[in-house]
Amino acid sequence: MSYQHHWLDGTRINLPVGKAVCVGRNYAAHAKELGNVVPDAPILFLKPSTAIVPLSPSFSIPSDRGSCHHETEIAVLIGQTISKIDVKDVFAAIAGYGLALDLTLRDLQNQLKKQGYPWEVAKAFDGACPLSAFMTPEQFGDVYHTEFGLTVNDQPRQHGLTEDMITPVYELIAYISQIFTLEAGDIVLTGTPEGVAPLAVGDSLVLSVGEQQFTTRVS
């Protein structure tokens, strides 16, 4: 199934599908659970547009590359091209908010890290970024004080509060814009809270943010 940005009501968003700019270790508890040091500045990496797929009704995971972990994240849809902007200018550049899974081939990532190699192949493979429909900023509410989470097979896995982000959303986007030009249709993934774990074919997932829920399964 090809991917296109959509609003909650199913209306197509008239923006191209661009890259996803992601941040690692933006929640201290997640860094700790993986034995990583909390960074002094955001750790950025990219997923190409080919990594982005619809979250629902289902998504697939690689079957022959070791464990594939879920990482539930607030996703920000960029609505206009921005470069080297100030925090005060970020709001005007945001088209909407949704939820994403930053799928991670954890065994492969750990192996590559030990060898000192880049680990994009563990993060940026085709289908590595299942993405929900988007809410407008007005529908979404206060991104600095938002609760989100994930259940897998009716069992709670992840629970996040955006106020726990090391680098908050607006500050993160302003920081990214100093390094990468963000274009209309790009996505910013804002980091995952603790509770990451492997997925298996047949798992049923519910991603939630505020009162909004997105259901999906691993096919």
Residue extents of the structural domains in the chain: 20-217
pLDDT at 186: 98
Q: What is the mean pLDDT of residues 8-15?
A: 97
Query: Mean pLDDT of all residues in the chain?
Result: 95
Return the residue matching tokens 């009704």.
57
Q: What is the mean pLDDT of residues 66-78?
A: 98
The region, left, alpha or beta by phi > 0 then psi within -120 to 50, assigned to residue 131 is beta
pLDDT at 1: 55
Q: In the CATH hierarchy, which fold is given to the domain comprising 20-217?
A: Fumarylacetoacetate hydrolase; domain 2 (3.90.850)
pLDDT at 209: 98
Host H or E run for residue 172: helix 169-177
Cα atoms in the 13 Å half-sphere on the side-chain side of 186:
24
Q: What is the mean pLDDT of residues 120-126?
A: 97
Q: What is the mean pLDDT of residues 11-22?
A: 98
CB 5 within 8 A of CB 69: no
Q: Is the pLDDT reported for residue 36 higher than 90?
A: no
pLDDT at 154: 98
Q: Above pLDDT 90, what percent of the chain?
A: 91
Chain centre to alpha carbon of residue 22: 7
pLDDT at 38: 73
pLDDT at 33: 77
Q: Is the pLDDT reported for residue 37 higher than 80?
A: no
Q: What is the mean pLDDT of residues 205-213?
A: 97
Q: Is the peptide bond before 57 cis (omega within 30 degrees of 0)?
A: yes
Q: What is the mean pLDDT of residues 152-173?
A: 97
Cα dihedral 152, 156, 162, 168 in deg (nearest 10): -50
Distance from C-alpha of 24 to C-alpha of 39, rounded to nearest angstrom: 9
CB 70 within 8 A of CB 218: no
pLDDT at 22: 98
Distance from C-alpha of 31 to C-alpha of 39, rounded to nearest angstrom: 9
Q: What is the pTM of this model?
A: 0.95
Length, in residues, of the chain: 219
Bridge partner list, 189: 22, 75
pLDDT at 31: 62
pLDDT at 151: 98
End-to-end Cα distance, the chain? 13
Residue 195 CB neighbour total at 10 angstroms: 19
- Determine how β-strand 204-209 pairs with β-strand 147-152: antiparallel
